[in-house]
Amino acid sequence: MFENLSERLSGVFDRLTKQGALSEDDVRTAMREVRVALLEADVSLPVARDFIKAVEKKATGAAVTKSVTPGQQVIKIVHDELVHVLSGDEDPGRLKIDNPPAPVLMVGLQGGGKTTTTAKIAKRLKEREGKKVLMASLDVNRPAAMEQLAILGTQIGVDTLPIVKGEDPVAIAKRAKTQASLGGYDVYLLDTAGRLSIDDELMAQVAAVRDVANPRETLLVVDGLTGQDAVTTAENFDARIGITGVVLTRMDGDGRGGAALSMRAITGKPIRFVGLGEKMDALETFEPARIAGRILGMGDIVALVERA
Amino acid sequence: VEPRRALDDEMLESLEDLLIAADMGVDTALRVTANMAEGRHGRMMSATDIKGLLAAEIARVMEPVARPLPIYPKKPQVVLVVGVNGSGKTTTIGKLASQFKAAGKTVVIAAGDTFRAAAVEQLQVWGQRAGVPVLTAPEGSDPAALAFDAMTRAEADGADLLMIDTAGRLQNRADLMEELAKIVRVIRKKDPDAPHNTILVLDATTGQNALSQVKTFQEMANVSGLVMTKLDGTAKGGVLVALADKFGLPIHAIGVGEQIDDLQPFDPEDFARAVVGLD
Ligand SMILES: Nc1nc2c(ncn2[C@@H]2O[C@H](COP(=O)(O)OP(=O)(O)OP(=O)(O)O)[C@@H](O)[C@H]2O)c(=O)[nH]1
Ligand SMILES: Nc1nc2c(ncn2[C@@H]2O[C@H](COP(=O)(O)OP(=O)(O)OP(=O)(O)O)[C@@H](O)[C@H]2O)c(=O)[nH]1
Ligand SMILES: [Mg+2]
Ligand SMILES: [Mg+2]
More confident residue, B135 or A28: B135
Name the band, by pLDDT with cuts 50, 70 and 90, for residue B279: confident
Mean pLDDT (chain B) is: 97
Nearest to A228 among B22, B117, B126 (CB): B22
Mark yes or no for CB contact B85/A197 under 8 Å.
no
Q: Which one-letter DSSP state was computed for residue B206?
A: B
Q: What size, in residues, is chain B?
A: 279
Q: Which of A278, A279, A280, A285 to mutate to test the pocket of ligand 1 (most atoms within 8 A of CB)?
A: A278
Residue B221: what are its φ and ψ, rounded to 5°?
-130, 15
Residues from chain B that touch A253, judged by Cβ atoms under 8 A, are: 84, 170-172, 209
**A14-39 pLDDT, tens per residue?**
666 556 677 888 888 889 999 999 99
**B55-79 pLDDT, tens per residue?**
999 999 999 999 999 999 999 999 9
Picking from A129, A137, A172, A169, the residue whose alpha carbon sits closest to that of residue A153 is A137
- Distance, in Å, from the CA atom of A177 to the CA atom of A213, rounded to the nearest integer, reads 7
Kindly tell me if the per-residue pLDDT of B111 is higher than 70: yes
**B205-216 pLDDT, tens per residue?**
999 999 999 999
A274: left (phi over 0), alpha (psi -120 to 50) or beta: beta
Cβ of residue B255 lying under 6 Å from some atom of ligand 2: yes
pLDDT at A67: 72
Cβ of residue A115 lying under 6 Å from some atom of ligand 1: yes
Q: How far is CA B119 from CA A138, B99, B140, B243, B277, in A?
A: 18, 21, 11, 29, 36
Nearest to B212 among A223, A254, A259 (CB): A254
Regions of chain A short of the pLDDT cut 70: 1-2, 14-20, 299-308
A217-223 and A271-275: which strand pairing? unpaired
What is the A223 CA–ligand 1 centroid distance (Å)? Answer: 9
Cβ of residue A142 lying under 6 Å from some atom of ligand 1: yes
Q: Can you list the alpha helix ranges (DSSP code H) found in B158-208?
A: 174-190
Provide mean pLDDT across the span B127-138: 97
Residues from chain B that touch A142, judged by Cβ atoms under 8 A, are: 122, 258
Report percent pLDDT > 90 for chain B.
98
pLDDT at A70: 79
CB atoms within 10 A of CB A307: 10
Q: Whose CA is nearest to atom 9 of ligand 2?
A: A110
Count residue pairs from A and B with Cβ separation < 8 A: 139
The residues, any chain, with a CB within 8 Å of residue A32's CB and separated by 6 or more, are none
pLDDT at B90: 98
Report percent pLDDT > 70 for chain B.
100
Q: Which one-letter DSSP state was computed for residue A178?
A: H
Name the band, by pLDDT with cuts 50, 70 and 90, for residue B14: very high
Q: Whose CA is nearest to atom 14 of ligand 1?
A: A113
pLDDT at A212: 97
- Distance, in Å, from the CA atom of B266 to the CA atom of B264, rounded to the nearest integer, reads 6
Residues from chain A that touch B232, judged by Cβ atoms under 8 A, are: 196
Q: Which of B81, B199, B258 to mutate to test the pocket of ligand 2 (most atoms within 8 A of CB)?
A: B258
Name the band, by pLDDT with cuts 50, 70 and 90, for residue B4: very high
Please state at what angle helix B239-246 crosses helix B26-37, rounded to 10 degrees: 80
**B229-238 pLDDT, tens per residue?**
999 999 999 9
Q: How far is CA A101 from CA A119, A177, B30, B117, in A?
A: 17, 8, 54, 27
Please state at what angle helix B47-62 crosses helix B26-37, rounded to 10 degrees: 110
Residue A47: closest C-alpha in chain B: B21
Provide mean pLDDT across the span B2-7: 92
